């Protein structure tokens, strides 16, 4: 029951963030009879799809499995394209809102500034930047892995007189690129997507690349009525499958090893995945690809030859798809592309290699590189990614039971039992937390699966009248060790990726995701639960 004391609202649970994860928490906990609200910094539902409205922003998961699996939702929903764009995903959220009446318990335009644990009352006291305060027994941050955009500290950043935006902070009203001179800094998923759009609309596009994106074919298509019927028929099974595979999609790694096959068998296997498109050439490839350098080289060589065949200028081809891999294939997230490599054949698209000529500074007109060249622009898009996984959490002044700030506790590295809780911060349970499967996982899959673990814990504790749950330092450490052991034999540590926390200068390098896959993660949680939530101290 919601009560007020001294005009401060009291809740069983405050959820932060209204993306897939937050919506799931609100709906489930509310239906179990608990008082729950979401505080959301944006003005609509959608999480990352509220913020990422840059031209070309698009889901890299096939739409049919990029939704909640509830019968009363999916049976009446259809995306028009296999890989829906941000505006259609927003329509999906509006649909979910109409069906589940989520917004009545969401406080929009409310950015959480601080959360302090009141040990006397075993409650969190949460304050928004506008001063609004709430008390809650449980705090469930659902911030996603990309809620803290990263902009590199470039000299004279503010000198530029044109429009300059991070892709995740793109103007909600849009920005017309037609006939403009556009710079794209960064070639991750966002950079690839914005480049494809800019190449079509802008007068000139200059892509500033530090590391080539080993992007793979999306194979986008409009879904016909026949497709929609097939999708509907297959969806129950696809939903079932997505909870039982490594990354929450509806396919898994090919159980054969690349190294065990003949050249012909291997190439045939790659070709099949390549033609099928999507992440299959990454998360459906031979299982030794992300572990063994030689197996990885095979995949890289196949990728390189396919891509180079599409690029006319040999020097450009060498930069976009180098003879030697810039890092092992698949240990940085490959984007899905539609015509990314082809656009570099257009006269209006230019590539600047930042490993040869790094950016020196911004000027009023544009960007100066180390060779002294100044290029003039109307629009600069920072597609430079995020302080991923932890940045959204550490941006908030979260103070635990003894007043320690979460950002101080994690300054030398994260520790979080099951990726759900961290010692000293009672009654705070993360969805998509550090060292949980968040980074590899199809969003809605983990919002439901990890989300249900948290719903289950919170519901049991509230019903039992328990006041406090906290992971133990030993359990946190054991989880960190377990994650370190899982990542050690893989090739992931060989790239400076956000998976490893290595994309942000000075950030501790460690696996921020759970590299054991969803089935093993589910097993670990079930084991802890069967043992009375082992690793948690419950009072």
Sites of contact with ligand NA7 (CB under 6 A): 146, 152, 167, 185-191, 210-211, 333, 354, 383-386, 496, 498, 503
Which of 350/466 has CB closer to ligand NA7? 350
Which of 152/516 has CB closer to ligand NA7? 152
Question: Smallest distance, Å, CB 123 to ligand NA7?
Answer: 34
Q: In what helix (H) or strand (E) does residue 298 lie, and over which residues does it extend? A: helix 293-308
Q: Residue 229, Cβ neighbours under 10 Å: how many?
A: 10
Q: Which residue is nearest to ligand NA7 (CB)?
A: 188
Question: Smallest distance, Å, CB 194 to ligand NA7?
Answer: 9
Residue 159 region by backbone torsions, left for phi larger than 0, else alpha for psi between -120 and 50, else beta: alpha
Which of 236/322 has CB closer to ligand NA7? 322
Q: And the tokens for 504?
A: 């942000």
Residue 20 near residue 452 (C-beta atoms within 8 A): no
Exposure letters 453-473 (e unless 16+ CB within 10 A, then b)? bbbebbbebbeeeeebbbbee
Which of 281/533 has CB closer to ligand NA7? 281
Question: Smallest distance, Å, CB 333 to ligand NA7?
Answer: 4
Distances (CA, A) of 514 to 264, 433, 437, 464: 34, 10, 5, 30
Question: Smallest distance, Å, CB 157 to ligand NA7?
Answer: 11
Question: Smallest distance, Å, CB 362 to ligand NA7?
Answer: 12
Which of 128/151 has CB closer to ligand NA7? 151
Question: Smallest distance, Å, CB 58 to ligand NA7?
Answer: 10
Q: Residue 433: CB partners within 8 Å, gap ≥ 6?
A: 141, 389, 393, 416, 419, 420, 421
Question: Smallest distance, Å, CB 329 to ligand NA7?
Answer: 14
Q: How many residues does the chain have?
A: 539
Question: Smallest distance, Å, CB 378 to ligand NA7?
Answer: 20
Residue 114 near residue 398 (C-beta atoms within 8 A): yes
Give CA–CA dist 264/226, Å, rounded. Answer: 35
Which of 141/191 has CB closer to ligand NA7? 191
Which of 44/166 has CB closer to ligand NA7? 166
**Class of residue 312 by CB neighbours under 10 A (exposed 0-12, middle 13-18, buried 19+):** exposed
Closest by alpha carbon to 453, among 385, 533, 346? 533
| Dihedral in degrees, nearest 10, Cα atoms 276, 280, 284, 286 | 80
Question: Smallest distance, Å, CB 167 to ligand NA7?
Answer: 6
Question: Smallest distance, Å, CB 445 to ligand NA7?
Answer: 14
Closest by alpha carbon to 192, among 388, 339, 386? 339
Question: Smallest distance, Å, CB 187 to ligand NA7?
Answer: 4
From the DSSP assignment, how many helices (H) and strands (E) are in the chain?
Answer: 16, 20
Which of 27/62 has CB closer to ligand NA7? 62
Which of 214/423 has CB closer to ligand NA7? 214
Give CA–CA dist 26/13, Å, rounded. Answer: 9
Which of 445/503 has CB closer to ligand NA7? 503
Give CA–CA dist 208/383, Å, rounded. Answer: 10
DSSP states along 44-62: SS-THHHH--STT-B-SS-
3-state SS class at 91: helix
Which of 40/387 has CB closer to ligand NA7? 387
């Amino acid at each position: 029951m919601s009560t007020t004391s001294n005009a401060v609202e009291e809740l069983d649970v405050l959820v932060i963030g209204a993306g897939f994860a937050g919506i799931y928490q609100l709906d489930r906990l509310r239906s179990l009879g608990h008082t729950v609200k979401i505080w959301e910094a944006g003005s609509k539902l959608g999480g990352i799809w509220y913020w990422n409205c840059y031209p070309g922003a698009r889901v890299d998961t096939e739409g049919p499995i990029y939704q909640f699996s509830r019968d009363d939702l999916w049976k009446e929903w259809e995306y028009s394209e296999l890989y829906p764009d941000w505006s259609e995903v927003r329509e999906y959220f509006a649909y979910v809102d109409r069906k589940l009446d989520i917004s009545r318990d969401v406080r929009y335009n409310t950015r959480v500034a601080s959360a302090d644990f009141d040990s006397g009352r075993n409650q969190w006291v949460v304050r928004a930047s506008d001063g609004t305060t709430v008390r809650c027994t449980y705090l469930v941050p659902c911030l996603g892995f990309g809620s803290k955009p990263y902009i590199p500290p470039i000299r004279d950043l503010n000198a530029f007189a044109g429009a300059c935006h991070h892709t995740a902070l793109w103007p909600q009203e849009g920005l017309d690129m037609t006939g403009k001179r556009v710079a794209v800094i960064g070639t991750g998923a966002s950079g690839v997507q914005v480049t494809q759009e800019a190449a079509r609309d802008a007068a000139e596009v200059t892509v500033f690349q530090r590391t080539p994106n080993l992007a793979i074919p999306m194979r986008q298509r409009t879904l016909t009525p026949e497709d929609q019927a097939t999708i509907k028929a297959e969806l129950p099974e696809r939903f079932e499958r997505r909870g039982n595979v490594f990354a929450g999609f509806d396919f898994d790694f090919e159980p054969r090893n690349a190294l065990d096959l003949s050249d012909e068998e291997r190439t045939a296997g790659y070709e099949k995945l390549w033609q099928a498109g999507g992440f299959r050439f990454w998360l459906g490839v031979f299982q030794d690809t992300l572990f063994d350098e030689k197996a990885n080289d095979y995949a890289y060589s196949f990728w390189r030859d396919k891509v180079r065949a599409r690029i006319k200028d040999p020097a450009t081809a060498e930069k976009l798809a180098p003879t030697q891999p810039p890092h092992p294939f698949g240990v940085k997230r490959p984007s899905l592309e539609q015509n990314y490599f082809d656009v570099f054949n257009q006269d209006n698209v230019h590539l600047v290699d930042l490993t040869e000529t790094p950016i020196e500074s911004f000027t009023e007109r544009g960007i100066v590189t180390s060779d002294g060249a100044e290029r003039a622009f109307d629009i600069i898009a920072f597609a430079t990614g995020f302080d991923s996984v932890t940045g959204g959490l550490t941006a908030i002044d979260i103070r635990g039971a003894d007043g320690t700030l979460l950002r101080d506790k994690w300054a030398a590295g994260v520790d979080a039992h099951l990726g759900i809780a961290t010692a000293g911060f009672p009654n705070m349970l993360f969805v998509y937390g550090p060292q949980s499967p968040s980074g590899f996982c199809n969003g809605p899959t983990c919002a439901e699966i990890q989300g249900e673990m948290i719903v289950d814990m919170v519901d049991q504790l509230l019903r039992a009248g328990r006041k406090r749950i906290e992971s133990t330092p030993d359990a946190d450490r054991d989880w960190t060790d377990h994650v370190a052991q899982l990542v050690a034999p893989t090739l992931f540590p060989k790239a400076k990726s956000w998976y490893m926390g290595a994309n942000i200068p000075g950030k501790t390098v460690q696996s921020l995701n759970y590299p054991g896959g969803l089935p093993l993660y589910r097993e670990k949680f079930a084991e802890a639960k069967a043992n009375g939530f082992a690793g948690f101290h419950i009072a």
